[in-house]
């Protein structure tokens, strides 16, 4: 076994066909540009339709976002929205089912949901989560089961787990 690079790596990665999913991320009031840069990189990896940076979330140009995201801010379509709630309502009007990644009394485990063709994932502030106003605009909330003493993951880690699961749950039977 050996690592792949260059053309062999590109050829290897082309073996998998991206499942059909229209996916959008909304980042609400994130404080850490590391989380934002990582969200751009995750967005590039899953080919998001759009990344919405809402409220006080840092936006490019930002050295940390550029570095952590490895320049993906130039490839991933993004925009700033003053209000995450308004962005979610707009996306719902366009046919997206919007899920907050938040633990609430009505949250569903992310791996038990059947995802539609148009999904928006909303991630909130690292300390306060998704606001009540934005939660009320979402169709539902998803949580990641936590078995240790810590009750949550870093924002970008949670986003990656749910985004890839959402994408691959629509892939159908394994391809050979």
Closest among 86, 103, 111, 169 to 140, alpha carbons compared: 103
List, as one string, the DSSP characters of 34-86: HHHHHHHHHHHHHT-SEEEEETT---SS-HHHHHHTTTGGGTS-EEEES-HHH
Tell the burial category of 175 from Cβ atoms under 10 Å away from its Cβ (0-12, 13-18, 19+): exposed
Q: Quick one: CA torsion of 30, 65, 43, 75, rounded to 10 degrees?
A: 140
The whole-model pTM stands at 0.93
Q: Report all structural domains of the chain as residue ranges with CATH numbers, in order of start.
A: 19-168 (3.40.1280.10)
Q: Are 157 and 121 in contact (CB under 8 A)?
A: no
Q: Are 36 and 27 in contact (CB under 8 A)?
A: yes
DSSP state of 111: G
Per-residue pLDDT reduced to its tens digit, 52-90: 999 999 999 999 999 999 999 999 999 999 999 999 999
Rounded distance between C-alpha atoms, residue 78 and residue 72, angstroms: 10
Q: Calculate mean pLDDT across residues 5-12.
A: 89
Q: In what order do the strands lie in the sheet with 108-109?
A: 78-81, 50-54, 22-28, 118-123, 97-101, 140-143, 108-109
Alpha-carbon Rg for the chain in angstroms: 16
Per-residue pLDDT reduced to its tens digit, 80-134: 999 999 999 999 999 999 999 999 999 999 999 999 999 999 999 999 999 999 9
């Amino acid at each position: 076994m050996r690592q792949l690079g260059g053309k062999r790596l590109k050829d290897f990665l082309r073996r998998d066909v991206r499942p059909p999913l229209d996916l959008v991320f909304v980042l609400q009031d994130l404080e850490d540009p590391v989380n934002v840069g990582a969200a751009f990189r995750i967005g590039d990896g899953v080919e998001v339709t759009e990344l919405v940076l809402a409220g006080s979330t840092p936006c490019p140009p930002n050295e940390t976002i550029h570095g952590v995201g490895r320049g993906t801010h130039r490839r991933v379509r993004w925009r700033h929205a003053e209000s995450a709630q308004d962005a979610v309502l707009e996306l719902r009007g366009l046919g997206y089912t919007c899920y907050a990644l938040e633990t609430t009394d009505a949250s569903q485990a992310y791996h038990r949901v059947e995802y539609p063709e148009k999904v928006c994932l909303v991630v909130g502030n690292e300390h306060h989560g998704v606001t009540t106003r934005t939660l009320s605009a979402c169709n539902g909330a998803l949580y990641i089961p936590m078995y240790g003493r810590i009750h949550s993951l870093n924002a970008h880690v949670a986003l990656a787990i749910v985004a890839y699961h959402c994408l691959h749950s629509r892939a159908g039977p394994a391809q050979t």
